């Protein structure tokens, strides 16, 4: 089932509920700082597990003690959709368990 792109107003409304997330061009983005490289790596693995469950994948960048997430929906022409917002919410929910800030 195809997913519809969200309007700019819809995206802004959803971002109001996702502290630290922002719109960068056609992507939702967020960076997290963690206490160590191991903690950052564990968070990447946890995000990958969620993405597999959702069958929706973001771009993840692992730094020494950082994790950056960038997501949009390829099947919607690279636009932001409700699937992206849901993935952002799930990442936001798991981040505190990894000590991410």
3-state secondary structure 19-76: CCCEEECCEEEEEEECCCHHHHHHHHHHHHHHHHHHCCCCEEEECCCEEEEEECEHHH
Q: Tens-digit pLDDT profile for the chain (101 aa)?
A: 568 999 999 999 999 999 999 999 999 999 999 999 999 999 999 999 999 999 999 999 999 999 999 999 999 999 999 999 999 999 999 999 999 99
pTM across the whole model: 0.96
- Report the pLDDT value the prediction gives residue 3, as an integer from 0 to 100: 87
């Amino acid at each position: 089932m195809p997913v519809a792109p969200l309007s700019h107003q819809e995206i802004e409304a959803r971002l109001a509920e996702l502290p630290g997330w922002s719109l960068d061009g056609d992507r939702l983005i967020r960076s997290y700082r963690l206490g160590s490289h191991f903690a950052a790596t564990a968070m990447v693995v946890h995000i990958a597990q969620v993405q597999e469950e959702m069958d929706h994948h973001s771009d993840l960048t692992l730094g020494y003690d950082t994790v950056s997430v960038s997501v949009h929906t390829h099947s919607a022409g690279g636009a932001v959709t409700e699937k992206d917002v849901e993935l952002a919410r799930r990442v936001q929910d798991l981040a505190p368990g990894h000590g991410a800030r």
